[in-house]
Structure 1
Amino acid sequence: MQRAAVRAAVASARRAPGFLLKNRPPQNIGAARTLATTTLSGTTAGSGSYLRKFTLAIVSSLVLGSAYISSRGSNPFLTKVSLLSNPGDKEAFSTSAKDDVRIRKIVAVDHESLYTGTITGDGPLTKESMDGRAGRKVLEMLTPEEATAKLRQTEESYLVGRDRGVYRYDVVQLPSNDPIEDDHAERIIEVPASVPANEGHPSTDWMFWGVFDGHSGWYTSAKLRQLLIGFVARELNATYKAASTDPKVHLPSPESIETAIKKGFVRLDNEIIHESVEKAVKASTRSQAAELLAPAFSGSCALLAFYDSQTNLLRVACTGDSRAVLGRHQDNGKWAATALSVDQTGSNKDEAQRIRSEHPGEDFAILNGRVLGGLEPTRAFGDSIYKWSIETQNMIKSKFFGRSPNPRLKSPPYVTAEPVVTTTKIQPEKGDFLVMATDGLWEMLSNEEVVGLVAKWLETQKKAKGGSSSGDSWFANLFGFGGGDRKSLPVATNHDGNQDEAGQRVPIRQKQWGISGPEDRFVIADQNCATHLVRNALGGKDSDMLCALLTLQSPHSRRYRDDLTVEVIFFGEGDKSGNVVVNEAASSKSKTQ
């Protein structure tokens, strides 16, 4: 029996301490790669992530699958057959198998490994282990068509006919947790010409896009979806009005706009952390108190983009380790990838130093790249156990529920929701685009790969549409793509190593999986660009890998992939209808009805 094994370290798992392999030193990536070619199990090291065990083994004989399951309970639906390297080839089966017997692929998963194999016959194929040991399951693998349907289940695409520098944006989510802990929000606010700060200009659009990476539950990210853009917009409105009263200024300074965005973030977190306690104390029931405190007990990173169509300035506010990357076409025909945010984790030297300087003498303020040895992001909404005083935590525990304060807790708060804000001048005429995503994407693809994949997708879109109609003028105006059939991505070479100089975690999948080049990995099969990125993050051309990873259900899936939320914003001029409409070709049916 032959086996081909590949390994990956994915997902940032801030909240599942059971996933942590304690007292295990980080392993050298090169050693991990070598190990992956010789064994079916072992640990992998992901920079800034929990150490996990993950093996995706393409099994060349179902003997392994049968033995694996039968050793843990009865196995009435598995038929032992003999396979060659291609499990879908009927000629590979023993001559005793009937020609009309249905052949299905399976996924078997436990706490250590994930296997794929085949099974013959019909009937239900979802089975838990029967030996009393939880966490082992066998599932029928999704077909490529079913995998595609799952990828596209939540996709949304919108055409922005505002003639204000944004042509389109695409969104998709893929859950790993049940329910998904990520969330997102988008909003366009029209600032009329009558507003003093806008005199002499046509009405201005303030456009917002946000992705929120929840952890320890979905409550905080849902709160951000509902309220964060509104909090920031109110602070911006007050700042612009204040500037309009000064006849020499009219528009606020860049520093005051940045301050307004930070105020919006901090004020919402104050409501989540502190005002919720005041309300919970007055609540009439424990269930009501639990509802009020839920967003404080869970947590969420936040990434918010704010585009002012009057100035063409894009501001990206980052709290946590979601990431925004700008793609821009260069004179040499390729695209440059520029990170507009920095991953804020305990592995970021600047962030670690900031927290240590705020808590002098506390050796455990940052431990093993985590706040107090527990939380990976150094900035987040919620996460009250890193912000409440010891007295408040003891009161919550005695009056309602909760747990004892962390024994390392000395001088909270250790975590802040205040974002780091960057400002970038957008050049729509160069086909600028922005990719915003939770860390589940960046653990599998580098900044350059993501930008290159979007650029390649644009090449294909332009080639397919030909810029033949007025509605496609945006594609027609994009220049310099050429070579739509070339295999390589039209972007700079990927980073190498675990972390770049700016503190960004670089995915190690290429090393661990022994991938030789982009042409061996990537495919273009989706109208929605965000879906296109997720497909290629999870396997691309490797259909078995893609289908196996998408077959997994919660909680098993959380060991192999994180919740994924991806937004792609395309800058440029579309039609001048003034409307924002659903792009039906790149949206799921549920979004178009």
Structure 2
Amino acid sequence: MYFRRVSVALVSGLVGYGAWYGYNGTSADHGQALSRGFTTTTNTIDPAAEPTRHVLVIGADQLHKGTVVGNEPISKMTHHDGRRVLEIINPEQATEVLRKSEESYLVNRGQGVVRYDLVQLPSNNPIEDDHDEKIVQVPSRDEGASNADSSDWMFWGVFDGHAGWTTSAKLRQTLISFVANQLNETYKAAGPGMFPAAEAIDNAIKAGFTKLDDEIVHQSVEKVLRSGSKTLAAELLQPALSGSCALLSFYDSRSKLLRVACTGDSRAVLGRRSESGKWTATPLSVDQTGSNPDEVARMRKLHPGEPEVIKAGRVLGGLEPTRAFGDASYKWSREVSTRLRNAFFGRTPSPRLKTPPYVTAEPVITTTKIEPENGDFLVIATDGLWEMLTNEEVIGLVGKWIETQEASSSNSGSSNMESTWSRLFGSSKKAQLPIEQGGENAEKTPIRLQQWGISPDAPGRFVVKDKNAATHLVRNALGGRNEEQVCSLLTLPAPFSRRYRDDLTVEVIFFGNSAKTGDGDVVPNVEAMAPLSQPVKAKL
């Protein structure tokens, strides 16, 4: 990330901030102008007598980095142009911010999953991302089978909200239940001892998605119009007017099949050990946006004669994802939108709106056979992560993290969990990321690296210092070994931070053939979780 370096000094709160107010920002070189704004008092300051602190000066379209001498409070908003000066947090504080929402669970069920880690980092205030995880114990379909023959349906979902947080919150509350109910009906319809066809399972997942979106977008309107209540309208229409992408992974421990259902541009990537000992990165979803040629072709086929159905890579020139929950202004007819706006509230329909709906919640589903015995792992994350790291970097970083955890276990003695970990994942002492390179299929440089002016080939970018694999990914996405950049990005307040990074939600799921222990509980892995004021209950 590029910061202009400015050396400034504060004599006292009064004099220093007076000099700051005196800066008019008219010079083409803002760094020099800012420095001149403080130089009237620098000759009276002995820097050795006061502590020196690093600051960010936040402008409308630029960041400046500088130093401030003194103990006075630093956060200040200017009176005329919105510029703001903030003290940069230190590396210890940055680690506290990164770990504030981290969670980790040990899965002792003997059903092919041994652990999952997750973390969130807001950029919006409040965060517009959300997530949900559930494990459903499924009785055996064979006659006379006991509980010992049961299997698990395991779900992990990340939800990337936009234009507000209410749609993603609705998905957290209900999406997995909608999908599980549809799957249950499909399996029951197959009959005792029988299993549904693959297409029927996919259709059940799609039905769970689309039924929930119908409730959010259309059934809410019916209830609001019947009631005429503005209070009810405010409650029911919020998830319809905002929107959210959704990525839901569904693992059936009986078949060892992992299905990934993607609506929007969150992403799932599988890590698998190759014969060389390195890891391969296999994307299990495709970003569904106006930049995806297949999605563009689908949209143009559905809306012939509308050349602006995709404009500048966006639906009707506005919405980037072509599939999403909510976003009702792209799904309601012009009549419904106008009626709701006149009676309650809402957005004016786009002048390009002709043949809605333009956006669907129906997911694209992939199916992959998991190899728990080989230590496969899955990373699912909202698009904020993939704006900063490639698929290969993400898988390589988790691979490097695994090596570090195994080495740490060897040095400190092994518990049962650590022994399982070592057996599944092995170890390596190589310095670079242990990832097979993609060759001609290598990805483009992530857009945030381009924005920050960082070369993806810069040596020594990455670091391993977190017990939580998801937190490890977020730290390295923000700068890794470059602590100055990590601290600066975490110092930026909302809404300015949104220009440099998005909300982040990351989950890492580790597969493995560990034995069931105890009652098969899912228990907190406290060493990889943020400190909590109250004990965490087992999660199942």
Give the letter aligned to residue 507 of structure 1: P
Secondary structure of 1:193's aligned partner: coil
Are 1:507 and 2:446 counterparts? yes
Q: 1:387 Cα deviation (Å)?
A: 0.4
Secondary structure at the counterpart of residue 589 of structure 1:
coil
Question: How far apart, in 1, do the equivalents of 2:144 and 2:435 lie?
Answer: 40
Letter in structure 2 aligned against 1:110: G
- The equivalent of 2:68 in structure 1 is 119
Shift of 1:542: 0.8
Residue 497 of structure 2 corresponds to: 557
For 1:414 and 1:506, how far apart are their aligned partners in 2? 30
Structure 1 residue 515: deviation in Å?
2.5
Q: Distance in 2 between matches of 1:114 and 1:71?
A: 16
Superposed counterparts of 1:227-376, under 5 Å: 227-245=174-192, 250-283=194-227, 285-376=229-320
What fraction of aligned residue pairs are identical, expressed as a percent? 55
**Alignment check: 8 A CA contact 1:495 1:506 kept:** no
Retained in 2: the 8 A contact 1:327–1:432? yes
CA contact (8 A) 1:232 1:264 kept: yes
- For residue 390 of structure 1, the aligned residue among 302, 325, 334 is 334
Q: TM-score, normalised by structure 1?
A: 0.82
Equivalent in 98, 112, 117 of residue 170 of structure 1: 117
Inter-partner Cα distance in structure 2 for 1:505 and 1:239:
41
Deviation at 1:568, TM superposition (A): 0.4
Counterpart amino acid of residue 99 in structure 1: A
CA contact (8 A) 2:445 2:456 kept: no
Q: One-letter code of the match for 2:532?
A: S
Cα distance in structure 1, aligned partners of 2:101 and 2:231: 32
Task: Give the Cα separation in 2 of the matches to 1:509 and 1:379.
Answer: 23
- AA aligned opposite 1:97: D
Change (3 A) 1:479 1:231: closer
What secondary structure, in the 3-state scheme, does the structure 1 residue paired with 2:270 have?
strand
1-structure distance, mates of 2:522, 2:229: 44
Shift of 1:194: 6.2
Deviation at 1:520, TM superposition (A): 2.1
Alpha-carbon distance in structure 2 between the residues aligned to 1:560 and 1:505: 19
Q: Structure 1 residue 532 and structure 2 residue 472: aligned?
A: yes
1:172 is displaced (CA, Å) by 0.3
User: Partner of 2:157: helix, strand, or coil?
Assistant: strand
Deviations along 1:268-299, one digit per CA (max 9) or x if unpaired, are 00000000001111335312211110000000
Aligned to 1:61: 7
Question: Counterpart of 1:462 in structure 2: which amino acid?
Answer: E
1:576 is aligned to 517
Q: What displacement does 1:527 show?
A: 0.5
Q: What is the deviation of 1:220?
A: 0.2
Name the CA distance, whole Å, in 2 between partners of 1:301 and 1:171.
18
Q: 2:77 aligns with which of 111, 114, 128?
A: 128
Give yes or no for contact 1:188–1:208 (8 Å, CA) kept in 2: yes
Hey, which of these two has a bigger chunk of helix by percent?
Answer: 2
Q: Which residue of 2 aligns with 1:102?
A: 51
TM-score by length of 2: 0.90
Q: Over aligned residues, Cα RMSD in angstroms?
A: 2.7
- Residues 95, 137 of structure 1: alpha-carbon distance in 2 compared, 3 angstrom cutoff: closer
Cα offset, 1:79, TM superposition: 6.0
Distance 1:353 1:281 in 2: 36
Tell me which residue corresponds to 2:13.
none
Instruction: Name stretches of at least 5 consecutive residues in structure 1 with no aligned partner.
Output: 1-5, 7-55, 83-92
Asked whether the 8 Å contact 1:196–1:241 carries over to 2, the reply is: no
- For residues 262 and 68 of structure 2, the distance between their equivalents in structure 1, rounded to whole angstroms, comes to 47
CA contact (8 A) 2:47 2:69 kept: no
Structure 1 distance, partners of 2:142, 2:155, is: 20
CA contact (8 A) 1:156 1:591 kept: no
How many residues are paired up? 515
CA contact (8 A) 2:284 2:366 kept: yes
Q: Secondary structure at the match of 1:244?
A: coil
**Residue 203 of structure 1 corresponds to which residue in structure 2?**
150
Displacement after TM superposition at 1:94 (Å) = 8.8
Residues 1:403 and 2:347 aligned together = yes
Q: What is the match of residue 538 of structure 2?
A: none
Deviations 1:501-534 (A, max 9, x none): 9xx8751455663426364210111101100000
- Does the Cα contact within 8 Å between 1:300 and 1:382 map onto a contact in 2? yes
Give the alignment partner of residue 463 of structure 1, picking from 387, 404, 407: 407
Whether the aligned pair in 1 keeps the contact of 2:424 and 2:512 (CA below 8 Å) is: no
Give the corresponding residue for 1:491: 435
8 Å CA contact 1:489–1:518 kept in 2: the answer is no
CA distance in 1, matches of 2:406, 2:227: 58
Contact kept? 1:79, 1:120, Cα under 8 Å: no
